[in-house]
Structure 1
Amino acid sequence: MARSTIAKTIWTAAGVAGALALVAAAGAGLVMARVALTVITPVRKRPQNQSIRGVDLDAGTVTLKDTPDAAVPGRYGLWFDDETGYAKISGVLEKADGLVTRTVERVVFGELHPTGRARISGYYYLEPEELGLPVKSIMIETELGEAPAWHFPPGDGDGADDGRWVIQVHGWGASRQEGLRAVRAFHEQGYTVLLASYRNDGDAPESADRRYGLGGTEWRDIDSAIRYAAGNGARTIVLMGWSMGGAVVLQTITRSTSSGLIHGIILDSPVIDWIDTLEYQARLLRLPEPITQGALRLIESTWSGPITGLGAPIDLASMNFVARAADLSLPTLILHSDDDGFVPSTASRALAEARSDIVTLVPFANALHTKLWNYDEERWKTAIADWLAANVH
C-alpha cells in the first residue's frame, strides 16, 4: 500500500474514532442532563409500579404481586387506574408463590379490580376531615404569593392554645397530605399542627424556574409559615420534615431569622446529605460514576442554567449536614429505616454519632421510605411523644 494511501487510511480511521468519541460524549451529556433534570424537576405523577392480581371484595382482600412495598406490614393507600381510584389496605394475610394478599379496609373511590396500573402509598389519609379533628384551611403569604396550609388547633378547637406548634414539611414529589397521618401524634400531646405547602409542589405558587431547590429555596416558604405561626400565638415551634422536607428543615434552622422560635426538629427518612443520597440512587440505577458526577456538576454549576432550567445553581456541598454537624444546636429526633431504598440511613446514623449530644436516632429495619408510621404506628408515635416530653419545653 502506498504511503499516501496508508496516511489517508490512518487519518480516516482517526476521523471516525474522533466522530465516535464526539457522539459518545454527546450521548453521555444527554444522559447527565436527564439525570440532573430528574432530580430537580417537580413530580406530578408517581410511577405505577404495582400489579393488582386479584380482588375479592366479599372477603375484603386484594392480591398483589410480591414486591417490598406490597409485602411490608402496616396500613397504606393503594392507588389504581392511573390514580383515578383509591383504597385503604392493611394487614398481610398471605404471602406465597410471588403474591401477597392483604386486607382491603375500604375502597374510597373507583372500582378496585385487577390492573397493572397501581402503586402503594404511605398516604393513608387524603383529606384533613378524615381525622375527625378541628381544622382550618388557611393561606400563608410567601414571597411568591399565597401558599395553602392546614391548621389543626389543639384540643377541641375551643381556642385554648399554650403556644406549642409543629410545622410539618413534606418531601420530594409529595404534598401536605403526606403529614396528615402524623397529626394525631402531635394533637395528643397538645400541639397546634400546621401542614405547610411550598413552591413548586402543586399547591403553593411556582417559582420562576419551576425547579426544586432541594431545600435551598423552599426554606423561604417554611420561614413564612413560621411567621404565620408566630403571628397566631406560637411561642415554641418544632419543625418536622419528611424525606426532602428534612433538607428543607435543616436549611430553615440554619438560615431563618426566626430560628429563635424553633425549639427542636423531627426528621423522618430525611435527606441529611444530598450528595450521599444522589450517589446512592445512582448506584441503584447502575449509572456509571462519570454520569453521576457529571449530573451533580450540572446541578451545582453556574453555567448550566440553560440545560437544567435552574434559576441559580444548588450548592450541594453546603447541604451535607454530617460535615456541618457543628452548625447544629437544636434537639433533633431522627426516625429512619435501614432498608429505606430511596434515602440511605447512612447520613442519619453518621449525624447521630457526630452529635450524640443533641441527636436521638430511632432506627427501623423493615419500614422502607417514609412509611415508618404505616409500618408501626405505635412505636413511631411513642418515640415522638417521649422525645417531645424530654426535649421540648
Structure 2
Amino acid sequence: MLSRLPDRLAADVIARRLQAITARRYDLPVLSSTQGTVTVPATVSTTLPGRYGLLSRGGALAQVGEILDVSSDRVTRELVTRTAKVAGQRMSWTGAIHASSDQLAGTVETVDLSTEGVPCRAWVIAPREMSTRWSVHMGGLGADARSSLRSAEVALAAGQGCMVLGIHRRRRHGFGVLEVGVIRRAFSTLRDRGATSVTGFGWSFGALAMLLAHRLAPDPLMRAFVLVSPLLDWFASAAVAAAAAGIRPAVLDGAVAIAEARNRYNVPWFRGALQLDALPWPADRPLAIPALLLHSRGDQTNPFETTHRFAGSHEEDVTLIELPNAPHTLEWNANEYAVTQAVSAFLRTQ
C-alpha cells in the first residue's frame, strides 16, 4: 500500500509512524501521594537518580526528587513541586522538571516564529546581565517545550540568553527540512536583538534539525552545538521504533524508498536534492564548529552506535561524552551534576 502513495506523502508516512510509535503515554499510575512524597511503580526510569517530572494529560507538571524508598514493585520519591492533584492519576514520567519558563532566572517573553507548515511559539529568556551570547534550544519530535528548559537553565547560568522553541504537533513533516525555516527565523530574531554568537542545543530530533540548518542554511552566528540523545540516522531510529511496534521491515523500507525518490520540498528557500542516507550531515564533511554530544547506551529510541559513528567521523569538531545507561533524554537528569559541569565548561570555551 505504501508503494502506491504519492511521492509528496512519503516524508509524512515515515515521520508519522515514528511519532505515533514514540508518542507520549500517560500510563504510569500514581499509587499514593502525601504533601511531600509520591509513590509510583518501580521501572527503569522511575528508579534513576536525579530530578524528573510527572506530567498529566492536561499539561500539569509535578517535579519529583530523590528516592526515599524503593522495593521490587514500587518507589517513593520526594515530591518537590506540583501544580495539580497527582494522587490516583495516570501520568507520564518525563525529563522535564520546570512547570513553566518563569521558573528560570531571567526575563521571559513569547514570540511567534511560525513558518509555512510549522507553527512555533518561542520563549525568549534574557539573562539578568545583558549578553550578546545566545543559545537556541529545540526539543524532540512533538516534545513539550518545557523539556528543553533543562538545557536553557545551564545556558543562562553560563551567561547566555536563551530562545526555547515550541514547535506544535502538525500533520506535515519533512525530515527536519521544514524546521530549518523556524531556526532561520530564530537566528534572524536574535541578530536583531544584538546577538553575536549562538549555540544550538538540540534534543533528539532537535539535534537533527540544528545540524540540518547548519548544512542547508548556514548562519555565521552559529558557533557551537550541544546535542543530547541526538537523532543522527533516520534509518536506524525508524528501524528501532518499527521493531518495537512490530512493524515489518518491508513496510518501513517501502516508505523509505518512496521518500528517497522525491527530490524537492515545497519550501521557499530549499530546492536541493534530499539524500536520506546523508541526513543530517555527510560523514566526509567537517562540521567546522565545535559540538558536544551527550548520549548513553541505554537510549532505546536513537541508537548510541549512530552517535559513536558520527563522533568518529568528525573527531576534529566533536566531543562525545558517554553517560551511564538511561532511557532516551533521561541521561541528562540521571547525571545532572556531571552534565551541568561538562556543558558549562564547553560553553566557557565558546
* TM, length-normalised to structure 2: 0.86
CA contact (8 A) 1:216 1:248 kept: yes
Q: State the alpha-carbon separation in 2 of the partners of residues 178 and 246 from structure 1.
A: 14
CA contact (8 A) 2:11 2:173 kept: no
Deviates more, 1:163-172 or 1:247-256: 163-172
Which residue in 2 is equivalent to 1:39? 17
Shift of 1:248: 0.2
Which one of 335, 340, 343 corresponds to residue 381 of structure 1?
A: 340
Cα deviation, 1:86-128, whole Å, max 9, x if unaligned, reads 322112222223222222112211x22234x221011111311
Cα distance change of structure 1 residues 140 and 43 upon mapping to structure 2, 3 Å threshold:
farther
Cα distance change of structure 1 residues 138 and 287 upon mapping to structure 2, 3 Å threshold:
closer
Q: Secondary structure of the residue that 1:230 maps to in structure 2? A: helix
Q: Counterparts of 1:248-263 in structure 2 under 5 Å? A: 248-257=209-218, 259-263=219-223
Which one of 111, 132, 154 corresponds to residue 127 of structure 2?
A: 154
Which one of 328, 352, 362 corresponds to residue 321 of structure 2?
A: 362
Q: Counterparts of 1:1-393 in structure 2 under 5 Å? A: 36=14, 38-39=16-17, 46-52=24-30, 54-58=31-35, 60-80=36-56, 82-83=57-58, 85-109=60-84, 111-115=85-89, 117-140=90-113, 142=115, 147-156=120-129, 160-161=130-131, 163-198=132-167, 201-202=168-169, 210-257=171-218, 259-302=219-262, 315-319=275-279, 321=281, 323-390=282-349, 392=350
Deviates more, 1:287-296 or 1:264-273: 287-296
Which residue in 2 is equivalent to 1:14? none
Cα distance change of structure 1 residues 94 and 79 upon mapping to structure 2, 3 Å threshold:
same
The aligned amino acid for 2:41 is K
Q: State the alpha-carbon separation in 2 of the partners of residues 27 and 302 from structure 1.
A: 14
The aligned amino acid for 2:304 is S
Shift of 1:301: 4.3
Q: State the alpha-carbon separation in 2 of the partners of residues 236 and 37 from structure 1.
A: 32
Cα distance change of structure 1 residues 29 and 346 upon mapping to structure 2, 3 Å threshold:
farther
The aligned amino acid for 1:291 is V
Cα deviation, 1:339-365, whole Å, max 9, x if unaligned, reads 012111111111111211110011112
Shift of 1:66: 2.1
Shift of 1:218: 0.7
| Structure of greater relative contact order (alpha carbons < 8 Å, 6+ residues apart) | 2
The aligned amino acid for 2:151 is A
CA contact (8 A) 1:43 1:173 kept: no
Root-mean-square deviation (CA, aligned residues, Å) is: 3.1
Q: Secondary structure of the residue that 2:348 maps to in structure 1? A: helix
Q: Secondary structure of the residue that 2:177 maps to in structure 1? A: coil
Q: State the alpha-carbon separation in 2 of the partners of residues 344 and 114 from structure 1.
A: 35
Unaligned runs of 5+ in 1: 1-25, 306-311
Shift of 1:315: 4.3
Q: Secondary structure of the residue that 2:82 maps to in structure 1? A: strand
CA contact (8 A) 1:254 1:327 kept: no
Shift of 1:28: 11
Shift of 1:234: 0.9
Shift of 1:174: 1.0
Q: State the alpha-carbon separation in 1 of the partners of residues 311 and 59 from structure 2.
A: 41
Cα distance change of structure 1 residues 287 and 351 upon mapping to structure 2, 3 Å threshold:
same
CA contact (8 A) 1:325 1:351 kept: no
Q: How many residues align?
A: 339
Q: State the alpha-carbon separation in 2 of the partners of residues 27 and 212 from structure 1.
A: 16
Cα distance change of structure 1 residues 276 and 131 upon mapping to structure 2, 3 Å threshold:
same
CA contact (8 A) 1:223 1:256 kept: yes
Q: State the alpha-carbon separation in 1 of the partners of residues 261 and 187 from structure 2.
A: 31
Unaligned runs of 5+ in 2: 266-271
Q: State the alpha-carbon separation in 2 of the partners of residues 133 and 244 from structure 1.
A: 26
Q: State the alpha-carbon separation in 1 of the partners of residues 252 and 202 from structure 2.
A: 26
Q: Secondary structure of the residue that 2:186 maps to in structure 1? A: helix
Cα distance change of structure 1 residues 40 and 98 upon mapping to structure 2, 3 Å threshold:
closer
Cα distance change of structure 1 residues 46 and 313 upon mapping to structure 2, 3 Å threshold:
farther
Q: State the alpha-carbon separation in 2 of the partners of residues 329 and 141 from structure 1.
A: 29
Which residue in 1 is equivalent to 2:269? none
Q: Secondary structure of the residue that 1:353 maps to in structure 2? A: helix
CA contact (8 A) 1:122 1:371 kept: yes
Deviates more, 1:176-185 or 1:230-239: 176-185
Cα distance change of structure 1 residues 43 and 97 upon mapping to structure 2, 3 Å threshold:
closer
CA contact (8 A) 1:301 1:313 kept: no
The aligned amino acid for 1:91 is E
The aligned amino acid for 1:179 is S
CA contact (8 A) 1:299 1:313 kept: no
